[in-house]
Structure 1
C-alpha cells in the first residue's frame, strides 16, 4: 500500500505542477486583456461607495449648478438599479463619471436662475422680438413688437442683428423700446 500511496502522491504533485504551468502560460499569453468576471444576479452587485455630485443642467443657457439631494432620498450606497429608481432617466436624469467622481445631472428645458430675468432683442420675420435670457441663448420668445428692424437707426440695427442688444431686466427692455418708439411706422 505504501507504493500505491507514493504513486498517487507523485501523480497528484505532477498534476498540480502541470496546472500551475498552464496557468502561468495562460497569464503570459493574455497580458493586456481584462479578466472575465462572472456575475451571479443578486450576489454582490457593484455599489457606488462615494456620495455623488448632483447638478442641474439648463439646456437654454448651457449652465450647470450644484443641487442638494432630492427630498426624501437618503444616500445609502445604491447599486445601479437603485440609482435608476432614485434618478429616473425619463425625468431628465443622467448618471456619468467625471474626473473619478460620480456625477448625477438633471437636464431641464429652462434658463438658470441667473439668466432667467435677462432679456435680449433679436430679429423675427423682419420685426424686433424680445427673448428671455442673455443674447445668444435659446430662451423662449416673449413677444414680437411691431417695430421693423429696417426702420431702426444703423447702430440699433447692428446691435440687434449681432446679438448685442442685451438687458438685465424686463424694465430695461421696456425703456429701450420706449426710446425706439419714434421709429415705428
Structure 2
C-alpha cells in the first residue's frame, strides 16, 4: 500500500524489499503507476502487462522496475474517487500476471478495505490531537479564570487576543501558559 499525504508518497506493508525503493523513485520522478492513479483521481485501475513497454509512459520508474525484476503491475486508488489517499498495488515478476478478471475484482475489494482502515486510523489520530488541544486550552482557561477572576468566555477571548498579538495558534499560547505554571510549581517545591 502506498499512501499520499502532505509529506508525499509512503510505502506501507511492502511484501517485497524492492517496493519501498520504487515508491521513493515514483515520488522523486513524479510518475509511475501509484502517482498516476492518485493524479487521475478515479477508482479505475492501472494495469501494465509488461513494464518493459511502459518506458514512454514512465521513463524513470518503468526501466528501474524492470531492472529490479518487476514485469507487471496492477494499481487501484483507495477511495474517494476525487481525492484518493493512496493506492493499493500488486507487482509481479511475470509478464501479464494481472490479465485475469479475478485479480482485478480482488484488488477492488482489497483497495476498498484498505481505504476504510487508513481513513479510520487517520480519523482516530485527528481525534486524539483534537482532544489534546482541547485539554491544554481548557487548562489554560482554568489558570486565567483562577488568577484573574474571569469567566470561561473572557479567559478564552484573552487566549485568542494573545495568540493574535504574538502570531501563534491559541493551542500554542495555552501550552506556553500551562508550561510556565508547571515550571513555577516545580521550582517552588
Q: What TM-score, normalized by structure 1, do the two folds share?
A: 0.27
Which of the two has higher C-alpha Rg?
1
Structure whose residues are more often strand by fraction = 1
Q: Which has the higher helix share?
A: 2
Q: Could you state the TM-score of these two structures normalised by the residue count of structure 2?
A: 0.26
